[in-house]
Each structure stands twice: as structure tokens, then as C-alpha cells.
Amino acid sequence: MPNLISLLFRRQQSLASSWLILFFLTLGLVGGWKSVQASTPETAPAELKNVLTQIDAAASRGDLKGVLQSYSPNFTQGDGLTRQTMEQALTGLWKRYPRIKYTTQLQSWQSQGNNIIAETVTTITGLPSSSSNNLAMNSTITSRQRLDGGKIVHQDVLSERTQLTSGTKPPQVDIQLPQQVTVGQQYNFDAVVKEPIGDNYLLGSALEESIQPNKYLTPTPVDLELLTSGGLFKVGRAPNTPGSQWLSAVILRGDGMTMVTQRLQVVNK
């Protein structure tokens, strides 16, 4: 039974990894951000509000040209992504999730010379196509972006949580993970199933990956193991260099699967 489920999950994993692609439409943390007093969303210039509204609307209808109108030809992203890679990724994502919705809330903004710096929270929900093995997506991403001349010129994800689910009753999973650790620091990564297990078998796996451009498009193989308790309980250690990590927990049972991924920031002491 575990071998059969593992094989089925490997089929789903090539689709499950598509959650990575959605980060192309999040708003980023500008390099060299200075600690300044941000203005409230109510006082934001119309130029900024229009860009956010246009991106949400174009992305929700799968309009690639409409989305790219808001990005500079020289667009850069903190994880090393490019405008060209973004085009390829969005096309694949929208094919898997033809019914997708983006909602961005402006948290704060600040002028820096001719640039505008904005902090936002973006919520993305996606219902799968008939060929996507019924993997539904829900993601919340907090980030900052820099605009120049009404175009996004740089972005980095500040924090993120993405959940993929499938089946008639996917497990409800509570993730316990710090948002930030220092280099070399030990930390706990727990994924607790909220409902009583009963007589159900649980299979699961925890994954830790450094965030690199190729990881956005290349699926990572997953080996599931039989869980003897109501979740995953792992101890990790941060790398010795600063950067960002993806921590994922996969929980599978007979009536559904849940995959939750969060970003862990690794900083100098």
C-alpha cells in the first residue's frame, strides 16, 4: 500500500511543484531598503494603486501581455528570476489553474527619489483544470516592491505560505516554523495534523531546499514514509551562509493530500 501511494504521489508531485511558479507575481523587497517611516495605503499615489489593480486583474484572467505591461524590461528578482523565465512560468501555471484569482492589499508605501517602495500582501487562490489531479492552491505572500516610472523594476519575497490540497478530505495541517533564523542555527519544523487520526494511515515527508531560479520550474522528487504519529516533527539546521530556504511538509492519507510550504529566511548573526 505505501509503495502504491508513493507512486501515485510522484505523479502528483510534478504538478505540486507548480506552486513555486506563483511567486513570479508577488511583490518584492527592494535591495538596499532603508528604514524609513512608511505612508499609509490611503495616501498612496494613483500610479501605485493602478499598477496593483492592473496586475491583479490581468493575472486573474490569465492575460500575460497585461501582466507584463507593469514590469520593466530590466526587471530583476531577489531569487534570481528574470522576465523571460516569468513568462514561461506563468503560461504553465495558468494552464494548470485556469480559474485563478489574485488579490493584493497595499500595506504601506514610501517615496525614494523617483522610485516608489510598496509593501503588500498578495493572496492567490487557484482551482485546478480537469487534468491537474485536483490540486487546489492557496497562497499568501508578504513582500515589497520598487517601481520606477510606473513599472516594477525589482522584487523579492519577504514571507510566504503556500498550500496545495487534493482529495475529498485533505488533512488539516498546522505548520510550526520560525520565519527567520541565523546562520548555523538549529530550529524545529513541525507539521501537525489537526484531526484525530483514527484508523487511517498517514504518509508524509519533509523537504528543505535552498531557493534557486531552477527550483521554480524543476520538480523535486518526494519519498513518503509511514508516519507513526499525527504529523511530522523534524529538527533542522540553517546553512552557514545567509539566504532563503523552502521548507515543505507533505501529508497523505486515503482521502486526501496536503502540501504546505513556507519560506525561512537565514540571516547573519
Q: What is the pLDDT of residues 24-67, one digit of tens each?
A: 443 332 333 333 446 778 889 999 999 999 999 999 999 999 99
Residue 238 has phi, psi (to 5 degrees) of -65, 150
pLDDT band at residue 218 under the 50/70/90 scheme: low
Block residue for cell numbers 516610472: 149
Q: Distance between CA atoms of 63 and 25, rounded to whole angstroms?
A: 12
Task: Provide CATH code, domain 2-267.
Answer: 3.10.450.50
Give domain limits for the chain. 2-267
The neighbouring-strand residues paired with 123 are 103, 140
State yes or no: pLDDT of 4 exceeds 50.
no
Q: What is the pLDDT of residues 114-171, one digit of tens each?
A: 999 999 999 999 987 776 566 899 999 999 999 999 999 999 889 999 999 999 899 9
